[in-house]
Amino acid sequence: MNQTLRILHLEDNSSDAELVKRFLKKEEIDFEIRVTENKCDFTKALGEFCPDVILADHRLPAFDSEQALEISFQHNYKTPFILLTGNVSEEFAAGMIKKGAHDYVLKSNMQRLPNAILRAVEFSRFEEERQKFLQDVIASEGLLREAERLAHLGSWQIDLTTQETKWSDEAYRILGLDPGETELTYERFLEFVHPADHATAKEMFAPDMLSQNDEIKSNIRIIDKFNNLKYIRSALKVVKDHTGIPVKIIGFNLDVTETVKAEQEVKKRESFYKKLIERSSDMKILFSSDGMILYGSPSIKKILGYHPGEYLGINGLKMIHKNDFRKLVTRMKNLIPNDGGAFYNQQRIRHKNGSYRWCAGTISNHLNDPDINAFVANFRDVTARKESEDKLIQSQSHLLASQRIGNVGSWELTLKRSDTFDYGKTFWSEQTYRIFGYEPDEVEVSSEFFIERVHPDDRERIRISTREAIRSSRFYSSEHRILRKDGQTRIVQNNAEVIRDPITLKAIKMIGVVQDITEIKSAQMALAKSEANLSSIVHNTELAYVLLDNDLTIRFYNEPANAGFLREAGKQLMLGSNVLDYFTGDRRNRLIDTCKKVLAGGKVNYETSFTSENGVILWYDNLNTPVKDSDGQILGMILSRTDITERKLLELERENITEDLIQRNKDLEQFAYITSHNLRGPVANILGSVNILQEEDLGKTEKKVFLSVLKQSVDKLDTVIIDLNHILEIRNAVNEKKENVILSGLIVDIQSGIQQTIENEQVKFVLNFSECNRVLSIKSYLHSIFYNLITNSIKFRKPDIAPQIEISSQVHPGILRIIYRDNGLGLNSEKLKSQVFGLYKRFHFHTEGKGMGLFMVKTQVETLGGRIKLNSEENMGCEFILDFKI
């Protein structure tokens, strides 16, 4: 006991009093004792000394213990009273205790005294507390009932020995019952428990549980009489007897349904809100008015590198760059009284790695919002933009850059009611004023003021797009004309963001920047125009263009290129596809070779042809060139292609004509040569004969010989001249009348003319003019041509095989082809090709002939505008192909 024990001792025997002191000292009790010998002193001491315990001798002169007990009771009945006496009867002692004495100690048994005192004091204290408790309980019983009702706390008890149960009124109400409506038992209570919590509830009352615990707590759900789900926090207090056997359970049921529901609601809202925030790449930071961070969205990790543990509960202002600190703090301070207000700010925030990131966005005041109780910052990392701006400023084009940046003004528009577009306060930055031609703060601005400054033709559009931006909360961007104060019209770019209340999601503000883009715009327009011009040139040209990357990806093509690919590769060109994918096989390989050469820096130029579906041959001139940057680095290549079909056809025609001319020239040369030879031969003989006849002395016989030579030579000369005349006649016979010649009829005519020969030689004809039997031509020439061919075939027949002559006609585009075939001796045509149609050429010498036949055939065919070709092998017969234009 740490308190000095105050003892009032009633004793007239001083030696006894000393003895008490000694005993108490011996027990090391810290005490203070006052000894009184009479009634007066004793009474006085009760008031002054306020003893914790009273020791009283029984018999004193004119005073005794009975009186003393009475007096002390009157004073304070709680002070323990111990009778300390010599011999007294048992009855007396018992009577005293009955009267209220706490204990009695015999002087002969003084050693028991200290313990008796301590026990008495302890008891009295306990009793005092008990009394006090009882008083409190009694006093508050009425309140308790009310409190139970308000707190939805029901109480009950079960006497385990008698199974008697008691339920408070609120315990009934929690179950949806009227107090006392029915007799409640443990089993009846279980019927109300939610099936899923039955096991839990039963377990609470299990004998083991009760014997091992003094207190059992559990959360269970119940379904009340009206089928309402209720959340109950249940606590049991187990009362046990001195052997530890549970005898009684006192229980409390607290209905926490509303709390749980509220918590659930809060959680739901929280998670919803969190998700909203966390999905955004912007940083959302909730912080108290003094900067303490209460919440941060996950993007903080991404942007600033911090884990939640590294910033939660920390003063976020410490992370602000010192140059941005003062402004931010000032603005925050100003924002405190502005409930629901916001401002836009840019500040550097320290990254975990020590660097600073520029973060821009709004800070809004939600201190009085019970759900938030904080400032809400909505920041975006604008470092890259900021850095590029800074670089621009630092660059040599300082003047230009500062002008451009200087041309950006900002503005804010408060929205009183977003649904009615009721605009509130408007703020313009100094530069915004300047853009509109005003001095800063020269006039008071408003949304009306702004709209009046917008060019009349743009006004309605701007009004609508602004409303649309507010309604949809989209990023707002518009380009429009404004009328400056000085009357000048300028073009501005307006970009704005709609700020929403993060809780109500109502648009509360528009924050925007405005930039004078007149110069940029006119430059852009000029560029767009020149681009459009270029593009129209590229698209309207006949030339096909395909622009390729280094990896042969198609980056650009024009319509002629697309048409070409569609025609030849059967595929539309696709930007981003590989040009090699359009071709296969040889074409692909050729293209790969070409591209390699070009990408190595060379130009590749070649011609290609393509035969279209209708048989028309298209010709292209392809020029593939590398594309280089100013350093000469190869960036890609251009495939360009020109349709040169027309040019090519002319060229081919020219080639044909040239070839024709060369052939004709050769023919003429040969004609000249042969004629000269054939004319010159007889002439030489005539000259020789005349010489001899004139100069020599000739005998009669000799003279006769040379005169004969002379005569025959002159005859031969005459024949040659007649032949030539005939040939020349044919050559010049273009004006002869053309008529429809039936080929089968023509052959019949020829056959009848040489009927005897055909019969003798047993010539067989195989004719097939089914494809074409009629040709507009000069009949006599055709007659001559086939007459010569047929007689040749018979003349140059193989001796052992009967001649067979096959004649057929074929129609080709623009051409009638007649194929004439025999089974005669044939010629080695390759060797004799140049001579076969020559004049006076003969290849077989066993028959008569002067070598005029094929020459005449050729001449006549060519005069008719056709061509003749011979295919032959020695002993394999001849095949003549005659092509006539139709």
Partner 1 sequence: MTQTVTYIVVDDDHFNNTICSMIIKKYMQATEVKIFTEPESGLLYFKEKLTSARENEQIFLFLDINMPQMSGWEFLEEFEKLSTEIKNAVKIYILSSSVNDQDLLKSKNNALVTDYIIKPLTREKVFKLLQP
Q: Are 393 and 404 in contact (CB under 8 A)?
A: no
Q: Where are the alpha helices (DSSP H) in 456-558?
A: 456-472, 518-540
- Among 221-229, 305-313, 385-393, 700-708, which window interacts with partner 1 (CB under 8 A)? 700-708
Cβ closer to partner 1: 580 or 692?
A: 692
DSSP-based three-state secondary structure for 515: strand
CB of 872 to partner 1, least distance (A): 19
Distance (Å, whole) CA 101 – CA 88: 14
792 binds partner 1 (CB under 8 A): no
Cβ closer to partner 1: 94 or 687?
A: 687
CB of 705 to partner 1, least distance (A): 6
706 binds partner 1 (CB under 8 A): yes
Contact with partner 1 (CB under 8 A) among 692, 819, 852, 876? 692
Cβ closer to partner 1: 684 or 802?
A: 684
Which amino acid, residue 81?
F
CB of 584 to partner 1, least distance (A): 53
Residue the block writes with tokens 């009634």 = 39
Q: Are 854 and 845 in contact (CB under 8 A)?
A: no
Residue 886's nearest CA partner among 756, 771, 728 is: 771
Contacts of 716 (CB under 8 A, 6+ apart): 681, 682
Contact with partner 1 (CB under 8 A) among 684, 722, 766, 776? 684
Within 318-442, strands assigned E span 342-350, 356-366, 374-381, 408-417, 422-428
CB of 829 to partner 1, least distance (A): 18
Q: Are 300 and 311 in contact (CB under 8 A)?
A: yes
The contact mask relative to partner 1 for 795-834 (x = CB under 8 A, - = no) is ----------------------------------------
User: What tokens appear for 224 in the block?
Assistant: 């009340």
Cβ closer to partner 1: 305 or 688?
A: 688
Contact with partner 1 (CB under 8 A) among 528, 566, 687, 776? 687
CB of 828 to partner 1, least distance (A): 15
CB of 716 to partner 1, least distance (A): 9
CB of 795 to partner 1, least distance (A): 15
CB of 610 to partner 1, least distance (A): 45
Contacts of 128 (CB under 8 A, 6+ apart): 78
Cβ closer to partner 1: 446 or 712?
A: 712
Run of H or E including 166:
strand 165-167
Cβ closer to partner 1: 439 or 696?
A: 696
Distance (Å, whole) CA 22 – CA 11: 15
User: What tokens appear for 329 in the block?
Assistant: 């703090």
User: What tokens appear for 150 in the block?
Assistant: 């308000």
Distance (Å, whole) CA 709 – CA 692: 11
Run of H or E including 198:
helix 198-204
The contact mask relative to partner 1 for 358-387 (x = CB under 8 A, - = no) is ------------------------------
- Among 78-86, 106-114, 154-162, 692-700, which window interacts with partner 1 (CB under 8 A)? 692-700
The contact mask relative to partner 1 for 629-668 (x = CB under 8 A, - = no) is ----------------------------------------
Cβ closer to partner 1: 688 or 753?
A: 688
DSSP-based three-state secondary structure for 487: coil
685 binds partner 1 (CB under 8 A): yes
Q: Are 881 and 869 in contact (CB under 8 A)?
A: yes
Q: Are 236 and 253 in contact (CB under 8 A)?
A: no
Cβ closer to partner 1: 347 or 689?
A: 689
Cβ closer to partner 1: 304 or 717?
A: 717
Contact with partner 1 (CB under 8 A) among 695, 759, 800, 848? 695
- Count the neighbouring beta carbons within 10 Å of the beta carbon of residue 15: 7
User: What tokens appear for 567 in the block?
Assistant: 């025609």
CB of 707 to partner 1, least distance (A): 12
CB of 682 to partner 1, least distance (A): 8
CB of 668 to partner 1, least distance (A): 14
CB of 862 to partner 1, least distance (A): 24
The residues in 664-683 that bind partner 1, with binding defined as CB under 8 A, are: 673, 676-677, 680-681, 683
The residues in 836-875 that bind partner 1, with binding defined as CB under 8 A, are: 842, 845, 851
Cβ closer to partner 1: 235 or 714?
A: 714
Cβ closer to partner 1: 537 or 707?
A: 707
Total residues binding partner 1 (CB under 8 A): 24
Distance (Å, whole) CA 592 – CA 598: 10
Distance (Å, whole) CA 872 – CA 854: 14
φ, ψ of residue 152 to 5 degrees: the values are 55, 45
- Among 400-408, 533-541, 588-596, 707-715, which window interacts with partner 1 (CB under 8 A)? 707-715
226 binds partner 1 (CB under 8 A): no
Cβ closer to partner 1: 323 or 691?
A: 691
Distance (Å, whole) CA 480 – CA 730: 87
φ, ψ of residue 674 to 5 degrees: the values are -65, -45
CB of 840 to partner 1, least distance (A): 8
- How many residues in total does the chain contain? 886
DSSP-based three-state secondary structure for 787: helix
Q: Are 10 and 55 in contact (CB under 8 A)?
A: yes
Contact with partner 1 (CB under 8 A) among 265, 371, 387, 702? 702
Cβ closer to partner 1: 388 or 665?
A: 665
Distance (Å, whole) CA 59 – CA 92: 12
- Count the neighbouring beta carbons within 10 Å of the beta carbon of residue 276: 13
Residue 620's nearest CA partner among 581, 571, 563 is: 563
Contact with partner 1 (CB under 8 A) among 160, 250, 382, 709? 709
Within 89-152, strands assigned E span 103-106
Contact with partner 1 (CB under 8 A) among 382, 483, 623, 705? 705
Distance (Å, whole) CA 29 – CA 49: 18
- Among 336-344, 493-501, 703-711, 752-760, which window interacts with partner 1 (CB under 8 A)? 703-711
78 binds partner 1 (CB under 8 A): no
Distance (Å, whole) CA 378 – CA 277: 9
Distance (Å, whole) CA 744 – CA 32: 169
Contact with partner 1 (CB under 8 A) among 691, 760, 828, 875? 691
DSSP-based three-state secondary structure for 380: strand
Q: Are 717 and 682 in contact (CB under 8 A)?
A: yes
Q: Is 67 exposed, middle or buried (0-12, 13-18, 19+ CB in 10 A)?
A: middle
CB of 632 to partner 1, least distance (A): 57
Contact with partner 1 (CB under 8 A) among 689, 784, 792, 793? 689
φ, ψ of residue 341 to 5 degrees: the values are -80, 170
Cβ closer to partner 1: 235 or 692?
A: 692
The contact mask relative to partner 1 for 58-77 (x = CB under 8 A, - = no) is --------------------
Cβ closer to partner 1: 774 or 850?
A: 850
CB of 761 to partner 1, least distance (A): 24
φ, ψ of residue 625 to 5 degrees: the values are -125, 145
CB of 659 to partner 1, least distance (A): 22
Footprint of partner 1 on this chain (CB under 8 A)?
673, 676-677, 680-681, 683-685, 687-689, 691-692, 695-696, 702, 705-706, 709, 712-713, 842, 845, 851
